[in-house]
Amino acid sequence: MKATVIVTLKPTVLDPQGMTIQRSLGSLGLTEITDVRQGKIFDVRLKNGSREQVERLAKEVLTNPVIEEYRIIWE
C-alpha cells in the first residue's frame, strides 16, 4: 500500500520561497499565475492496514503544527 503525504505552510504563514518563484514568472510571460505556494511531498510505503501509523508520521514528524498542515492521498 502507498500513501502520499503533502505538507504545506498554513495559508496564514508567509512563504518567501513561493513568493520568489511567483515574482520570477513575469519574464516567462506567465502573467496569469497570481500565487505560488511551496510545499513538500513524501511517498510512503506501508503494510496493509497501518493507516494510523501514516497519520502519526504526518502529524508528529513531517509537520510542524505551528506553521504547517498536511493532507494524505491513499493509493
Partner 1 sequence: MKFGVVIFPGSNCEQDCYYAIGTVLGKPVEYIWHQETSVKGFDAVVLPGGFAYGDYLRTGALAKFSPVMKAIADFAKKGGLVFGICNGFQILTEAGLLAGALLRNVGLKYLCKFEYLRTETTDTPYTNLMHKGQVLRIPIGHGDGNFFADADTLKRIEDNDQVVFRYTDAKGNVTPEANPNGSLNNIAGIVNEQRNVLGMMPHPDRSYESILGSADGKLIFESMVNALVTK
Contact residues for partner 1, defined by CB under 8 A:
12-14, 16-17, 20, 61-62, 64, 66-67
7 Cβ neighbours under 8 A, 6+ residues apart = 39, 40, 41, 42, 58, 62, 63, 68, 69, 70
Q: Which is nearer to partner 1, 20 or 53 (CB)?
A: 20
Q: Which is nearer to partner 1, 16 or 29 (CB)?
A: 16
Q: Which is nearer to partner 1, 32 or 70 (CB)?
A: 70
Reading the block at residue 23, the C-alpha cell is: 515574482
The vertex-19 CA angle with 13 and 20, nearest 5°, equals 135
Least distance (Å) from partner 1 to the CB of residue 34? 20
